[in-house]
Amino acid sequence: MTVRALIVDDETMIAEDMALQLAARPGWEARFCCDPSLVLDLITRHNINVCFLDIEMPGQSGIALSQQLRSDFPSVIIIFATAFAEHAATAYRLPATDYLVKPISDTVLDEACVRVEQQLKAAGSKAIDPTAGMIAVKSMGRTDYIKTSEIVMGQAAGNYVCLHSKNKEYLHRASFGELSDQLAPHGFLKCHRSYFVNASKVVSFVRNIKDGDELVLEGGYRAPVSQAHRKSVNMILSSSEMQG
């Protein structure tokens, strides 16, 4: 499980220092942003799953931003980090995991990180039942339960992931990065920044110098293989004796 954190604070030194602290933790990646207007784009681009938000910022408050995140990215964990303790009552009425008062000690930050890891682990175990091999696909006000073995590939689509099975497509509201991490133990591999595939559904690996390599999958689906993922895809498919 990879924790991808975004620190949002208009004070650059504070944001950068926290990002360095978080990035030093095993399994964590961290970025910082001083402009609240860039947050939604950064979450989508980097598959962020936890946001540390300052509250008093020019342009947009952390409270208002958290409400927007809860609407657009409901799976993103929100932690408030501010020097203004008087905002605690308002913040606690929102679905935030933590409220940290600056200056934040190493111990307090470590405890908050542990709670984030536990929450992400719990969310992953609820989304996928490893015993039954099922995944709960949530979209358009309904939930469908499908077998992970029936999924051929997944493709990032904004705030959603388009899951392709042999006979049907599902638009699942989820982070592409989180879902690909959750499905990895079930035989799925990431072949591109926006695609993952079920290794058991790969028919052949087509090399194309001009247009780029791609995987041909059952059902006639095709998924591009990026330069960054070519080596890992080769290794996995070779070990499975599926490379064509």
- pLDDT digit string (tens) for 68-101? 887 777 788 999 888 765 554 455 455 566 788 8
State residue 111's pLDDT score: 92
State residue 127's pLDDT score: 55
State residue 66's pLDDT score: 86
CATH 3.90.550.10 given to domain 134-239: no
pLDDT in tens, 137-165: 876 667 777 888 899 999 999 889 999 99
Below-50 pLDDT ranges, the chain: 88-89, 92, 129-131, 241-244
The residue extents of the domains of the chain are 3-127, 134-239
Residue type at 100 in one-letter notation? L
Class of domain 3-127: alpha beta
Exposure class string for 178-209: b at 16+ Cβ within 10 A, else e: bbbbbbeebbbbbbbebbbbbbebbeebeeee
- CA nearest neighbour of 155 among 215, 233, 243: 215
State residue 244's pLDDT score: 43
DSSP 175: -
CA 105 → CA 96, 99, 175, distances in Å?
A: 20, 13, 30
CB 191 within 8 A of CB 233: yes
State residue 129's pLDDT score: 47
Task: Scan for tokens 């499980």, then name that residue.
Answer: 1
CB 165 within 8 A of CB 152: yes
